[in-house]
Structures are given as structure tokens and as C-alpha cells.
């Protein structure tokens, strides 16, 4: 047998033993039930999903889809919680956190990155161009600039105005609940949005999973504070055998429970995506019952079959779903309180 034919035979046998339903010779996917699909946190996930969907429907890789998707939220200047236009820390510096994970378990992350409007692409470059997983602060900026990213001022006139408003009282009470406006109006001046994050999970037509998560973090946070979003296992986790999970809300509680990893491991044990997310928020309640009543945390999960679900501490958490049936679906997350 020629070495080329031998290679193709071995590749196909290998793919079959891994359960991949892919025609490797043609390079085209055969239909895998439930694919492609992309889901993401909050209503602003709808336009982000649509950018990801463009990639997925061209038989693109889930990794490319999630990067393209969350970049839409990062570029949206009216979104004060992700990318450029995100609210600054209490000293007026906009610092961004992001991470990305692919179907092979490769991952990259940046934290406390300033001056770069697409931290997700820097995170991907950390994954693909360095032997490391995470770069932070000045080092992350240096890496980005060395790799062709442009330095920008990320503080927009409206986020500067919100910060100046906050400075009048300088109340440092990092309670987050953007979607529940009664919480919000009580605790932040000018009915400002406090916080959220875009977390996105995609399953491509080849049956491969990837995820991305990006945020400007808690509004008016302490300088140097990093939440869950760039922490693999906390803000995002993907295991291509099982599924993926991502989170939004008060990152400290998600880090304490290694939330997204927990959700994926629960799915490994047979939990549905929704059940797994529910159990993860219940762990937060169990560990910190009083804190849990005051904050928001939401998890979102997608399994290998294309099944998805979410659960949050508080009402109001929403997520966007895009699949063959519907490209702009917004669903309300179930909740504990």
C-alpha cells in the first residue's frame, strides 16, 4: 500500500475509533445531530452568536467561531462590561480579561490587559504562539504589541463619565447584578450597569467544541483585581469528550468553586447541562449562603450532543442560542432566588 493510502486509512480508522463522524478524505463534515450550535451569555450574545454562526455554517472551526463571536461584544462601545468602552477600575484604568479553549484542551488567557481592544485575540495568540497559558498586565501588553496589536485608549467618553459619577461617592461595594435593576439602582449611581461578561460555547459541524470568555470585569474594581473570566476552569472550561461551560457574574465566587470545570465534570457524571449548572450555583449557595443572596452568578453549558442549559443565582440572567432552527433566540436562565 502506498504511504499516502496507508496514511488515509490510518487517519480514517483513527477518526472512527475516536467517534468522529467526519469524511476526512473530502474534508467535509457529515451531518452530526445537534450541530452546529453556538450559545452565549446575555442578550448581547445574539449579534455575537451571529458572527460565530457565519463561521460555523461555512464548516469553520468552533475555535474560529467563538473568537469571531466574542469580538463583536468587545467592539461594541455601548457595552460597558466587555472590551473597549468597558468601565474602568477605581483609578480610571480600563483593564480587560479573556480566555479561550479549543477541542484539544489547548488554552490561552490574558488578565489585566490594558490598551488592547480585542483581548480574546491576544489570548488566542498566547495559546498558539507561546508555551504558556496566561500572560498578565505589562507583559501581556508587551506581547500584544510585539505581535501586531495596536495600542488604544479604551476609556470612552461615556465610560469616563460613569467613572466620574462613581468617584463622587467612591463606594467600593462590589455587588453585581446588572440585570436586576432594583439591585442596580440601589447600589450604583445613575443606574449604571455594574457588570457582566460574554462567555460563548460552540460545537462545530465536525462535532468539536471550543469556548471563549471576555470581560472588563467588575466596574470600578480595585486596580489589579482579576475575576474568573480569564481563569481556565473558573470562567471557562471545555472538554471535547463531554462539553463546555462558561460563567458570568461575581468572579470571586466562581473562582472559589472552580465553577466551569465543576459544571463539565458534573456533565461527565451524567448531569444534563441545566442540572450541572444548577448544582454549581447551589455549591455557591452552600458555601456562602448570605453572599449568594446578594450577588449574581450564572453558568451556561453545552454538551457534545448539542444540548444546552443554564442556571443562575438571581432572576434576570439571559442567554442567546443560535442553531439551524433559530439564529436569534434569547432564553431566560432558571434561578435559585
Tell me the closest approach of the beta carbon of residue 235 to ligand GLY, in angstroms: 6
Nearer to ligand GLY, 109 or 197 (CB): 197
308, 24 Cβ separation under 8 angstroms: no
197 classed as catalytic: yes
Does residue 177 touch ligand GLY according to CB under 6 A?
no
Nearer to ligand GLY, 38 or 254 (CB): 254
Look up cell 440572567; give the residue: 317
Question: Contact with ligand GLY (CB under 6 A): which of 79, 117, 208, 248?
Answer: 248
Phi, psi of 285 (to 5 degrees): -60, -45
Nearer to ligand GLY, 18 or 222 (CB): 222
How many helices (H) and strands (E) the chain has is answered by: 11, 15
Spatial distance between the Cα atoms of 190 and 3, rounded to a whole number of angstroms = 69
**Contact mark string toward ligand GLY, 224..243, x via CB under 6 A:** ---xxx--------------
Kindly list the distances between the CA atom of residue 6 and the CA atoms of 32, 60, 142, in Å, as whole numbers in the listed order.
Answer: 26, 27, 46
Q: For the residues of 71-95, what is the DSSP string, one character each?
A: HHHHH-TT-TTSSTT----TTS---
Site for ligand GLY in 187-206 (CB under 6 A): 197
Nearer to ligand GLY, 61 or 221 (CB): 221
Label residues 224-239 b or e (16+ Cβ within 10 Å = b): ebbbbbbbbbbbbbbb
Does residue 251 touch ligand GLY according to CB under 6 A?
yes
Does residue 281 touch ligand GLY according to CB under 6 A?
no
Does residue 210 touch ligand GLY according to CB under 6 A?
no
Q: Name the DSSP class of 189.
A: G
Question: Contact with ligand GLY (CB under 6 A): which of 69, 244, 249, 259?
Answer: 249
Site for ligand GLY in 61-80 (CB under 6 A): none
Does residue 217 touch ligand GLY according to CB under 6 A?
yes
69, 52 Cβ separation under 8 angstroms: yes
Q: Which of 130, 277, 123 is nearest to 211 (CA)?
A: 123
**Catalytic position from the list 22, 35, 81, 197:** 197
Collapse the DSSP code of 199 into the 3-class scheme (helix H, G, I; strand E, B; otherwise coil) and give the result.
Answer: strand
Nearer to ligand GLY, 20 or 262 (CB): 262
Which positions are annotated as active-site residues?
A: 197
Residues that bind ligand GLY (CB under 6 A): 197, 215, 217-218, 227-229, 248-251
Amino acid at each position: 500500500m502506498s504511504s499516502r493510502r496507508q496514511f488515509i486509512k490510518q487517519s480514517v480508522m483513527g477518526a472512527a475509533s475516536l467517534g468522529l463522524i467526519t469524511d476526512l478524505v473530502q474534508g467535509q463534515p457529515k451531518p452530526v445531530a445537534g450541530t452546529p450550535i453556538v450559545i452565549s451569555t446575555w442578550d448581547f450574545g445574539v449579534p455575537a452568536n451571529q458572527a460565530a454562526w457565519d463561521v460555523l455554517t461555512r464548516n469553520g472551526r468552533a475555535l474560529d467561531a467563538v473568537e469571531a463571536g466574542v469580538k463583536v461584544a468587545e467592539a461594541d462601545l455601548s457595552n460597558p462590561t466587555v472590551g473597549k468602552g468597558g468601565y474602568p477600575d477605581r483609578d480610571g484604568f480600563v483593564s480587560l480579561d479573556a480566555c479561550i479553549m479549543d477541542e484539544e484542551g489547548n488554552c490561552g488567557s490574558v488578565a489585566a490587559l490594558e490598551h488592547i481592544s480585542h483581548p480574546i485575540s491576544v489570548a488566542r495568540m498566547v495559546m498558539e504562539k507561546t508555551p504558556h497559558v496566561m500572560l498578565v498586565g505589562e507583559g501581556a501588553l508587551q506581547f500584544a504589541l510585539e505581535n501586531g496589536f495596536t495600542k488604544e485608549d479604551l476609556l470612552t467618553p461615556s465610560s469616563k463619565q460613569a467613572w466620574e459619577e462613581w468617584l463622587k461617592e467612591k463606594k467600593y461595594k462590589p455587588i453585581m447584578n446588572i440585570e436586576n435593576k432594583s439591585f442596580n439602582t440601589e447600589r450604583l449611581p445613575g443606574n449604571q450597569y455594574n457588570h457582566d461578561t460574554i462567555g460563548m460555547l460552540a460545537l462545530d459541524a465536525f462535532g468539536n467544541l471550543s469556548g471563549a470568555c471576555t470581560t472588563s470585569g467588575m466596574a470600578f474594581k480595585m486596580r489589579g483585581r482579576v475575576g474568573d473570566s480569564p481563569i481556565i476552569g473558573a470562567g471557562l472550561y471545555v472538554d471535547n469528550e463531554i462539553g463546555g461551560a462558561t460563567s458570568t457574574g461575581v468572579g470571586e465566587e466562581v473562582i472559589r468553586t472552580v465553577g466551569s470545570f465543576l459544571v463539565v465534570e458534573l456533565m461527565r457524571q451524567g448531569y444534563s447541562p441545566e442540572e450541572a449548572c444548577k448544582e454549581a450555583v447551589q455549591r455557591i449557595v452552600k458555601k456562602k449562603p448570605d453572599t449568594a443572596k446578594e450577588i449574581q452568578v450564572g453558568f451556561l453549558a453545552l454538551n457534545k450532543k448539542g444540548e444546552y442549559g443554564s442556571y443562575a443565582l438571581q432572576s434576570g440572567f439571559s442567554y442567546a442560542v443560535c442553531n439551524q432552527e433559530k439564529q436569534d433566540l434569547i432564553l431566560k436562565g432558571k434561578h435559585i432566588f
